[in-house]
Amino acid sequence: MHTRRWVAFVAATLVVAACSSSSKSTTAGTTGGATGGTTAGTSGATAGGCTVGVSWNNYQEERWAKWDEPAIKAAIEAGGGKYISNDAKSSAETQASNMENLITQGAKVLIVLAQDGTAVKPAVASAIAGGVPVIAYDRLIEDPKALYMTFDNKGVGKMQAEAVFAKVPKGNYIIIKGNKADANADFLRSGMEEVIGAAVKSGDIKIVGETYTDNWDPAKAQTETEQFLTAANNKVDAVLAQNDGMAGGAIAALTAQSLAGKVPVSGQDGEQAALNRVAVGTQTVDVWKDSRALGTAAGTAALALCKGKDAAAVPGAKPFTTPGGNSLATILLTPIPITQANLNVVLDAKWIDKAALCKGADATKVKACA
């Protein structure tokens, strides 16, 4: 996707979210996922009086409160609906009761960012059976009646590996995966495998450390990386970290061994600190998922579900076969890999300002910082 077209898309999405109460549209597509490009719209999907409840698993990641929630709320309120929410604080048990609480408060649709996609299934099934549609937001919930909305996570993993592999086609790799209970960790890993799998089989790449990381915790990722570095006598050539927080943890471990900037590291989410690391050179790639677009699409879809209650009928939804063999109505949005070469993309989209992006960067080497 060309930069100009993407910036225009983001701008259009935000204008629609803020100004339209009768129709909204969001472009969705995949890059290596299970569905082709789609266009999601909700012509006539206003739902005055519709209360939409959002169950957040936590606010550990920068993006939830900064980008996703404001976009969801704006889309719902622009359509005449009401936004309510609660926070499970990383507890699967709390999330189940939180969902019941939202319904008690009058939620007619639930948007659920699952702490544990398996543990939350009974609560999701109960809600749907009671006539409350559920959107599985950004994380898979294996319920065939839910609407699954996320970015192409397999594509994200592929983009991460492509950027790192281009720098290091041979050598010792560490793979820092996300939470085991989150299907995204495995989607990302499968995308990575498409890029590095052949080199692993041939022996060109040796995986000297690979692990899941509870709650995608940066501190745990740092400890894991430290342990892998010690076991490999610091002979590590690349780190595939599945998100920006964990990339930060891995880079802290590399810094302690004077390896930061020498060992390519991946991430995702477009966190401000991570984008700055890309500019500085300690992080190789940050796969940017414009959460404003996903939040707007989810809020808009929630209003459509308030009227129709059939996930498959939401404009833009296409069938996606899950790892569990379920067919879910799904809308996937397309991410963009950000490297030093195209940092202007996030600047043009007003995702980050130049001062924050370029702090400490060499403006003679980074075009966006010149």
Distant-in-sequence, close-in-space partners of 166: CB < 8 Å, separation ≥ 6: none
Q: Which two tokens stand for residue 289?
A: 């998922």
Confidence class of residue 47 from pLDDT cuts 50, 70 and 90? low
The Cα 283–Cα 169 span in angstroms is: 17
Q: What homologous superfamily does CATH list for 3-152+290-334?
A: Response regulator (3.40.50.2300)
pLDDT of residue 168: 98
Mean pLDDT of 59-72: 89
The Cα 370–Cα 360 span in angstroms is: 12
Which of 24, 17, 68, 39 lies closest to 291 in space, CA to CA?
68
Confidence class of residue 26 from pLDDT cuts 50, 70 and 90? very low
Fold agreement between 3-152+290-334 and 153-288+337-369: yes
Which of 47, 109, 54 lies closest to 78 in space, CA to CA?
47
Is the Cβ–Cβ distance between 188 and 159 less than 8 Å?
no
Mean pLDDT of 288-317: 94
Higher pLDDT, 39 or 89: 89
Mean pLDDT of 187-211: 98
pLDDT at 88 over 80: yes
The Cα 109–Cα 295 span in angstroms is: 15
What is the pTM (predicted TM-score) of this model?
0.83
Is the Cβ–Cβ distance between 29 and 38 less than 8 Å?
yes
Give the relative orientation of helices 92-104 and 121-129 as an angle to the nearest 10 degrees. 20
pLDDT at 8 over 50: no
Higher pLDDT, 44 or 301: 301
Alpha carbon 204 to chain centroid, angstroms: 30
pLDDT of residue 308: 84
Higher pLDDT, 368 or 13: 368
Mean pLDDT of 78-101: 96
Confidence class of residue 33 from pLDDT cuts 50, 70 and 90? very low
pLDDT of residue 48: 63
Q: What homologous superfamily does CATH list for 153-288+337-369?
A: Response regulator (3.40.50.2300)
C-alpha distances (whole Å) from 29 to each of 36, 40, 330, 335 are 6, 10, 11, 9
pLDDT at 30 over 70: no
The Cα 331–Cα 151 span in angstroms is: 8
Per-residue pLDDT of 111-151, as tens digits, reads 999 999 999 999 999 999 999 999 999 999 999 999 999 99
Which of 317, 313, 368, 312 lies closest to 340 in space, CA to CA?
368
pLDDT of residue 62: 77
| Residue 76 CB neighbours (<10 A) | 29
Confidence class of residue 49 from pLDDT cuts 50, 70 and 90? confident
Delimit the domains of the chain by residue range.
3-152+290-334, 153-288+337-369
HSE-up (13 A, CA, CB side) for residue 114: 29
Q: Which two tokens stand for residue 349?
A: 């989209």
Q: Which two tokens stand for residue 277?
A: 């690391």
In one-letter notation, the amino acid at residue 88 is A
The Cα 156–Cα 293 span in angstroms is: 16
pLDDT at 44 over 90: no
Mean pLDDT of 48-72: 90
Q: Percent of the chain having pLDDT more than 90?
A: 84
